[in-house]
Amino acid sequence: MQQEPLSLMQFQKKFGTEKACQKHLFRLRWPEGFRCPRCRHAEAYFHRTRHLYICKACGYQASLTAGTVFHKTRTPLHKWFWMIWLMGRQKSGISMLSLQRMLEIKTYKTVWTMGHKIRKAMAERDAGYKLAGLIEMDDTYFGAPKPGKRGRGATGKAKVVVAVETPAEKKKPRFAAMRMVPNVSSAEIKPLVQERLAAEAVIKTDGWQGYSFLDASPSLQHEWLVPGSGKEAPKVLPWVHTLIANIKGNIRGIHHGVSPKHLPRYLGEFCYRFNRRFWEPQMFNRMLHACLNTSSITFLELRQ
């Protein structure tokens, strides 16, 4: 296993050509060599102009990039590779505008769409993992509030529930999960708990009624920490508050604000990187793997 992340020079040397990138994708997609998706035959002709692998037994035309984020892309693979590498390397994220300039991608729309495709792959991958043990949980708001109520009743802000797996004895937190919710109510928090938290966990929250359903769970243990206003929450839920401050800083500083429509993908990107921060040397290949195993999304779908 690789111990250090590749340097910029090593990366350019390794993935500087289309051919090198294709070869790498091929190895990730078919680690044991080509396998026909239809008949499992192991031999194929390569159709150079159409970039297709044609099964020698049944004639099936397999594409290296079908069903991946690279499907039908007009951007060269080596630019995709750079982009994935850079998005994985920058702890606080990277702006699409600087990527557009660095990678000489013609339009902002192209780089923006690429960014969201990569984020979607990261978010989907991350959603498959569960937090366990001791978990801090709280909710927060992104974006400018509309005039009116403040705090949990506020309208016009994106509401996000955040869970962080925290080891005892003040060690660093391990994993995090975030989800945008229409309301910070039991009905909306419950799916996050069911899908992203292990069946047996100890969950610390403040005194908000939206978390009361946790008390009824036979396997979960719920610790109410601050009854009432929640002003003491940063002290008793330190990690969840640190993470919230970090992602808000990233979104403000790097992405200059994000609309609620796209926020879930930014949350996914943030958590993906955070959850794998101790495996930095493997980050690029893991991200590529995620990009190969996700359904693609079109610009039009992103805009809806």
Using rule CB under 5 A, residue 45 touches Zn ion: no
DSSP code for 146: P
163 φ, ψ (degrees, to nearest 5): -125, 135
Site for Zn ion (CB under 5 A): which residue of 38, 47, 146, 235?
38
Site for Zn ion (CB under 5 A): which residue of 58, 187, 199, 245?
58
Residue at 279: amino acid letter: W
- Region binding Zn ion by CB under 5 A among candidate stretches 39-47, 117-125, 150-158, 226-234: 39-47
Using rule CB under 5 A, residue 290 touches Zn ion: no
Q: Terminal CA-to-CA distance of the chain, rounded, Å?
A: 41
Rounded least distance, CB 47 to Zn ion, Å: 14
Residue at 146: amino acid letter: K
Using rule CB under 5 A, residue 33 touches Zn ion: no
d(CA 147, CA 294): 40
- Region binding Zn ion by CB under 5 A among candidate stretches 24-32, 54-62, 166-174, 207-215: 54-62
Q: Is the distance from CB of 250 to CB of 178 less than 8 angstroms?
A: no
Judged by beta carbon, residue 57 or residue 187, the one nearer Zn ion is: 57
Rounded least distance, CB 34 to Zn ion, Å: 10
Using rule CB under 5 A, residue 36 touches Zn ion: yes
d(CA 54, CA 64): 11
Judged by beta carbon, residue 46 or residue 129, the one nearer Zn ion is: 46
Identify the residue whose tokens are 């949350």: 267
Rounded least distance, CB 44 to Zn ion, Å: 8
Judged by beta carbon, residue 44 or residue 137, the one nearer Zn ion is: 44
Q: Is the distance from CB of 267 to CB of 160 less than 8 angstroms?
A: yes
Q: Assign 3-state DSSP to the chain and report helix, strand, coil percentages, each to 5.
A: 45, 15, 40
DSSP code for 173: P
Judged by beta carbon, residue 19 or residue 40, the one nearer Zn ion is: 40
Q: At what angle do helices 18-29 and 77-89 cross, to 10 degrees?
A: 70
Rounded least distance, CB 35 to Zn ion, Å: 9
Using rule CB under 5 A, residue 56 touches Zn ion: no
- Region binding Zn ion by CB under 5 A among candidate stretches 8-16, 31-39, 117-125, 238-246: 31-39
Binding site for Zn ion (CB under 5 A): 36, 38-39, 41, 55, 57-58, 60
